[in-house]
């Protein structure tokens, strides 16, 4: 009996040591591993806004992965442009890669001081009214009194979007008898695809970056009155975000992605069927040194 007790005592001590070691290891590793296999601390939740426009997909997907690498949980909140501005104001959205300073002038005035601008993701992006080249027109002025050449309508998308609001101003400025047909991005592009396949006239909203300029032979109409022109895509940032996530705050104040890069991403995703997340991972790998620098205060 004494011999059994003598053997049991060392075994109990060994088990106790192993249990303590395991518990200690768990307590010292509350985070997860990033893409490089490094331990990351759980830093809380970041909410990225995402309006229904293709050009937001690359920065959203890339930033989601980068934030997760840094130890954040990421949620993506979808909604239209007006909802995004309101959500930034109220703190429901932390960051949103969807500001167009010129197109969103109305929203800038309404929400002045209620959000911050981050970095300019890209600039020099053309926006405006677009037609197929086979229609043979080059300027909005050519539509005045000749609205029937586009069947008396402009095909657009969400009525509260910046481009639709600007279109209302253009119609009034040129005194055009045009119906503004609202819908969704998808419904507009479906009509564009059908009209062009049938060589039918169509007037619609166009911009870069977008795959439409790779898929179709189209032209942006000149706007002598200056309502349309080049614009920039800028990060929108909640006023309290810096204290919540200083590293990602730095990231969205330094992030850059060219128009050509965005269009290539969209082309590979939409036309070639590549996965959006995998494309984001590849972009991060190709731009790792820049990303590491962007996470630090400049």
243-78-33 Cα angle (round to 5): 55
CATH of residue 172:
3.40.190.100
| CA contacts within 13 A on the Cβ side of 163 | 26
CB 121 within 8 A of CB 235: yes
Task: Check whether residue 281 and residue 145 sit in a common domain.
Answer: no
Tell me what pLDDT residue 22 has. Answer: 42
> Is 32 among the domain residues?
no
Tell me what pLDDT residue 229 has. Answer: 86
Task: Check whether residue 139 and residue 51 sit in a common domain.
Answer: no
> Is 102 among the domain residues?
yes
- Please state the separation of Cα 55 from the chain's center in Å: 6
CB 81 within 8 A of CB 266: no
Q: Dump the DSSP string for 204-260.
A: EEEESS-THHHHS-EEEPB-TT-SS-EEEEEEEE-TTHHHH-HHHHHHHTT----HH
Task: Check whether residue 157 and residue 239 sit in a common domain.
Answer: no
Task: Check whether residue 111 and residue 72 sit in a common domain.
Answer: yes
CB 294 within 8 A of CB 70: no
Task: Check whether residue 90 and residue 157 sit in a common domain.
Answer: no
Under 8 Å CB-to-CB from 249, ≥6 apart: which residues? 237, 241, 242
Task: Check whether residue 131 and residue 214 sit in a common domain.
Answer: yes
Distance CA(293)–CA(251), nearest Å, equals 8
Residue-range definition of the domain harbouring residue 152:
126-230
Task: Check whether residue 225 and residue 235 sit in a common domain.
Answer: no
> Is 120 among the domain residues?
yes
Retrieve residue 192's tokens: 């564009």
142-214-170 Cα angle (round to 5): 30
> 141-175 burial by CB neighbour count: b if 16+ within 10 A, else e?
eebeeebeebbeebbbbbeebbbbbbbeebbeebe
> Is 34 among the domain residues?
no
Task: Check whether residue 98 and residue 138 sit in a common domain.
Answer: no
Task: Check whether residue 268 and residue 286 sit in a common domain.
Answer: yes
| pTM of this structure | 0.77
Q: What residue ranges of the chain have pLDDT lower than 50?
A: 1-30, 32, 35-36, 38
DSSP 295: T
User: How many CB atoms sit inside 10 A of residue 122's CB?
Assistant: 21
At which of 230, 251, 285 does a domain end? Answer: 230
Tell me what pLDDT residue 2 has. Answer: 38
> Is 2 among the domain residues?
no
Round the average pLDDT of the chain to a whole number and report it: 89
| pLDDT tens column, 185-213 | 999 999 999 999 999 999 999 999 999 98
Q: Based on the structure, what is the number of domains in the chain?
A: 2
CB 237 within 8 A of CB 95: yes
| pLDDT tens column, 146-168 | 999 999 999 999 998 889 999 99
Task: Check whether residue 163 and residue 74 sit in a common domain.
Answer: no
Tell me what pLDDT residue 214 has. Answer: 86
> Is 19 among the domain residues?
no
Task: Check whether residue 166 and residue 252 sit in a common domain.
Answer: no
Q: Dump the DSSP string for 70-113.
A: TT-EEEEEE--HHHHHHHHHHTS-SEEEEE-TTTTHHHHHHTTT
Retrieve residue 29's tokens: 């590793």
């Amino acid at each position: 009996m004494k011999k059994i007790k003598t053997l049991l005592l060392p075994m109990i001590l060994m088990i106790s040591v192993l249990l303590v070691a395991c518990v200690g290891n768990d307590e010292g590793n509350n985070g997860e591993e990033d893409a490089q296999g490094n331990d990351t601390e759980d830093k809380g939740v970041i909410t990225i806004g995402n309006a229904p426009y293709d050009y937001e997909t690359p920065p959203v997907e890339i930033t989601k992965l980068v934030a997760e690498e840094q130890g954040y949980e990421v949620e993506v909140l979808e909604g239209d442009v007006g909802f995004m501005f309101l959500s930034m104001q109220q703190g429901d959205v932390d960051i949103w890669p969807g500001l167009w300073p010129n197109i969103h002038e109305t929203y800038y005035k309404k929400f002045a001081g209620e959000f911050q601008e981050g970095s300019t993701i890209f600039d020099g992006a053309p926006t405006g009214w677009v037609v197929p080249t086979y229609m043979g027109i080059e300027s909005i002025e050519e539509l005045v009194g000749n609205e029937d050449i586009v069947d008396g309508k402009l095909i657009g998308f969400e009525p509260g979007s910046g481009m639709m609001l600007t279109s209302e101003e253009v119609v009034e400025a040129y005194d055009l008898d045009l119906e503004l047909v609202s819908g969704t991005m998808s419904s507009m592009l479906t009509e564009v695809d059908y009209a062009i396949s049938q060589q039918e006239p169509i007037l619609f909203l166009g911009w870069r970056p977008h795959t439409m300029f790779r898929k179709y032979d189209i032209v942006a109409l000149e706007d002598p009155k200056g309502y349309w022109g080049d614009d920039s895509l800028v990060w929108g940032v909640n006023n309290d975000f810096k204290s919540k996530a200083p590293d990602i705050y730095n990231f969205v104040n330094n992030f850059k992605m060219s128009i050509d890069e965005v269009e290539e991403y969209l082309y590979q995703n939409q036309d070639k069927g590549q996965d959006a997340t995998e494309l984001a991972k590849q972009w991060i790998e190709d731009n790792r040194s820049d990303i590491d620098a962007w996470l630090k205060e400049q």
